[in-house]
Amino acid sequence: LPNHTAVVSHIAIDIGGSLAKLVYFSREAHSTEPGGRLNFQSFETDHIDDCLEFMRKLKRRYQRANGSNSPPASDLCVMATGGGAYKFYDKVREVLGVDVLREDEMECLIIGLDFFINEIPREVFTYSEEHPMQFVEPGDNVYPYLLVNIGSGVSFLKVSGPREYERVGGTSLGGGTLWGLLSLLTGARTFDEMLDLASEGDNSNVDMLVGDIYGTDYGKIGLKSTTIASSFGKVFRKKRQAENEAEDSGGLGHKDQLHHRQQQSQTHNGVHTPPLLDEDVEQQEPQLPDFTSKDPSRPFSSADISRSLLYAISNNIGQIAYLQSQIHGLSHIYFGGSFIRGHPQTMNTLSYAIKFWSKGAKQAYFLRHEGYLGAVGAFLKRQP
Ligand code: ADP
């Protein structure tokens, strides 16, 4: 445990579809100074047992610090939010032997965000390529605003005042989509590897750009030649072209490959089981496909694919965020959720989309602890 001499007093957890986010307060054991620090830690929800083990260690620190004279260990209260607060409720109580108080997920998100906006200096920032990370200090007119929380899925919340909010929309094309599709399409094994690939990639190898269609820009309606006309729009043609070239040069051509695959896919007791993906039949071992390989029918790199999909998801969310802000008359748009992860291309895309569609009238804001809004909100909800 980091900072392991510090006394722990209070734990909150936000267990989502992809990640479990933990926030706890600690202070130095013999410090005469008031105050302490908030600690942030996340685990994959699939590895919830690791998370519970971590929390058990925190509980032991709490017990040691309080000895026998002060509150009993069972008084260490765990605040919980997110879907996992329900799904894993019994498990958390059992493993930790403490009481668990559940709090509403959306309410926690906005309580957490309000705290970050109003109380934490150098937390909220705007982003552009020319001016990355410009911190914003709280003004008098925080409300109303739109919160776009990009977790596994995406929620759009209209916030009119403290604890006054409404979920006005959502989309299932979110962080889980990028994570899932890139695990199918690239060799990346972790989300951070996917983001690293995206940083290196060139989406114009995969996306159909305005310039590919017009040969130039389409200035009349404000489209640059580099504007994406169709995400992944070049793939089909490029792939077919590569296959035809391979066929012409005497390799295993497209028709041969198709035939070969069909034969392989029929081997299960004669029942026809079409492969979900080529890899199902081409790679019997649990190996990840390598799109950078010499296979001529796959002229796309993992990096280009990652960049393209990151743009597709982020642009889509940026566009919906703008439309929601228009419908509800909101000009401040906060983006939260672990999907963002401080990644420059993601923030630039979201920020640019808001600026572009609103013609500069609306502003996108980001947070240093973007993934912890719900956990911090739950943390703050504990009654003193
Ligand atoms: P949820 O509450 O639905 O779990 P989060 O706000 O925690 O949502 O965001 C989850 C998303 O964050 C994932 O779907 C993925 O896009 C991204 N992400 C960021 N870091 C990681 C990581 N270490 N492992 C998996 N996904 C991550």
Residue 154 falls inside a structural domain: no
pLDDT at 338: 98
Residue 65 falls inside a structural domain: yes
Protein residue with least CA distance to atom 8, ligand 1: 151
Residue 116, H or E segment = helix 105-119
pLDDT at 9: 74
Query: Binning pLDDT at 50, 70 and 90, where does residue 258 land?
Result: low
Residue 56 falls inside a structural domain: yes
Write the single-letter amino acid at 318: G
**282's tokens:** 């081409």
Residue 211 falls inside a structural domain: no
pLDDT at 219: 83
* Pair 346, 310: CB distance under 8 Å: yes
Residue 87, H or E segment = helix 84-87
Whether the per-residue pLDDT at 281 is higher than 50: the answer is no
Query: Binning pLDDT at 50, 70 and 90, where does residue 364 land?
Result: very high
pLDDT one-digit tens code per residue, 181-222: 999 999 999 999 999 999 999 999 999 999 999 988 888 888
Query: Binning pLDDT at 50, 70 and 90, where does residue 15 land?
Result: very high
**217's tokens:** 């820009």
Rounded CA gap, 72 and 70, in Å? 6
Q: Is 16 in the pocket of ligand 1 (CB under 6 A)?
A: yes
Give me the chain's average pLDDT, please. Answer: 87
Q: Which of 4, 10, 20, 176 is CA-nearest to residue 91?
A: 20
pLDDT one-digit tens code per residue, 304-341: 999 999 999 999 999 999 999 999 999 999 999 999 99
Residue 338 CA, ligand 1 centroid: distance in Å? 5
Q: Is 43 in the pocket of ligand 1 (CB under 6 A)?
A: no
Query: Cis ω on the peptide bond leading into residue 289 (within 30° of 0)?
Result: no
Protein residue with least CA distance to atom 26, ligand 1: 191
Whether the per-residue pLDDT at 293 is higher than 70: the answer is no
CATH number for the domain including 12? 3.30.420.510
Residue 97 falls inside a structural domain: yes
For residues 36 and 24, which has the higher predicted lDDT (pLDDT)? 24
Rounded CA gap, 71 and 166, in Å? 39
For the CA of 42, the nearest atom of ligand 1: 23
* Pair 297, 290: CB distance under 8 Å: no
Residue 177 falls inside a structural domain: no
Query: Between helices 302-327 and 175-185, what is the axis angle to 10°?
Result: 160
Rounded CA gap, 178 and 194, in Å? 9
Residue 125 CA, ligand 1 centroid: distance in Å? 21
DSSP state of 218: B
pLDDT at 73: 52
Protein residue with least CA distance to atom 16, ligand 1: 175
Rounded CA gap, 198 and 96, in Å? 40
pLDDT at 28: 77
Q: What is the domain extent for residue 95?
A: 7-106+375-380
How many structural domains compose the chain? 1
Residue 60 falls inside a structural domain: yes
pLDDT at 16: 98
For residues 346 and 241, which has the higher predicted lDDT (pLDDT)? 346
Whether the per-residue pLDDT at 250 is higher than 60: the answer is yes
* Top mean-pLDDT range of 32-36, 58-62, 152-156: 152-156
Residue 183 falls inside a structural domain: no
**144-153, 223-232, 328-337: lowest mean pLDDT where?**
223-232
